[in-house]
Amino acid sequence: MEKFCQSCGMPLNLHGKDVRGTEADGSKSTKYCSYCYENGAFIEPSITFDEMLVRGKEAISNGQGNKIVKFFMKTFYPMQLKGLERWKK
Ligand SMILES: [Zn+2]
């Protein structure tokens, strides 16, 4: 199983919670989280890389961790996102 969602980069095990999305047959996705992927398809198939970037940064801001950790997460987020399966060209 991939450690991070291959669409948004979020850990698939978020603070001990399984946030994997579902496949069409109801099984858990090994690649994507439940915020990106449901019933075997992307929830927002037309979202762009830049839109995902903005959303991810917001999620980091609203998530756990202190300011310094968040600063570094946001700094490296674009690079992380670029390496994910959904955005690789
Ligand atoms: Zn995701």
**pLDDT at residue 2, as a whole number:** 58
1 has a pLDDT exceeding 70? no
> Which residues hold their Cβ within 5 A of ligand 1, which is an ion?
5, 7-8, 33, 36
Distance 37 CA to ligand 1 centre (A): 7
Cα-to-chain-centroid distance, residue 40? 16
Ligand 1 center to 34 CA (angstroms): 7
- What would the pLDDT profile of 30-65 be if each residue is shown by its tens digit? 999 999 999 999 999 999 999 999 999 999 999 888
pLDDT attached to residue 89: 76
Q: For residue 80, what pLDDT is reported?
A: 95
Beta strands in 1-89 (DSSP E): 13-14, 17-18, 20-22, 28-33, 37-38, 41-42
What pLDDT is stored for residue 14 in this prediction?
86
> Tokens 């570094």 map to which residue?
72
Tell if the pTM clears 0.75, that is, is over it: yes
Q: What percent of the chain is modeled with pLDDT above 90?
A: 90
Query: How many whole angstroms from 35 Cα to the centroid of ligand 1?
Result: 5
**Of 24 and 64, which is predicted with more confidence?**
24
Q: What spacing in Å lies between the alpha carbon of 54 and ligand 1's midpoint?
A: 13
Distance of CA 21 to the CA centre of its chain: 11
Distance 62 CA to ligand 1 centre (A): 16
